[in-house]
Amino acid sequence: MLVAGSCWILQGRNTPVRTIAKFKMQQANWELFTRLLVPPSQVNLQTLTSSILNAAEASIPRSKPGNIRKMVPWWSPEIKEKILLKKRALNRFRRHPTMENLIEDPSVAGGY
């Protein structure tokens, strides 16, 4: 967000967030992966890295890169921490439904 005079200008709200394609490890062809690897006696670090990547690209399908979710300009690490504390307090109250745990829950006490 940028401040221009006395009004806020939202930036990045409609900007799509791109993710990196990941390997689908559950669908891997492990026999092909093992065959494509170079034996350890012939390997240096660079060869090992490229060998593993080449075998993975040939034998393990990848997910499609795409948007996870749109970013919101008002989200912050403090909000994430507050939600985490609220969930912990609610779970504690569900396990041990006492008046102390009920009061400790920020959603009930007004702390959220």
24 and 63 both lie in a single domain: yes
pLDDT of residue 2: 42
Tens digit of pLDDT per residue, the chain (112 long)?
444 444 444 445 555 556 677 888 889 898 988 888 767 666 677 888 888 899 988 998 888 777 667 778 888 889 889 889 888 888 888 898 888 877 776 565 555 4
pLDDT of residue 71: 74
Give the domain range for residue 42: 1-72
53 and 94 both lie in a single domain: no
pLDDT of residue 107: 60
Please tell me the distance from the alpha carbon of residue 15 to that of residue 68, in angstroms, as a whole number: 12
42 and 63 both lie in a single domain: yes
Query: How many beta carbons lie within 10 A of that of residue 79, not counting itself?
Result: 12
49 and 85 both lie in a single domain: no
Please report which helix (H) or strand (E) contains residue 2, including its range: strand 2-4
Number of domains in the chain: 2
19 and 47 both lie in a single domain: yes
pTM above 0.85, yes or no: no
And the tokens for 7? 């009004």
And the tokens for 29? 């062809």
Strand partners, 56: none
Please state the separation of Cα 106 from the chain's center in Å: 26
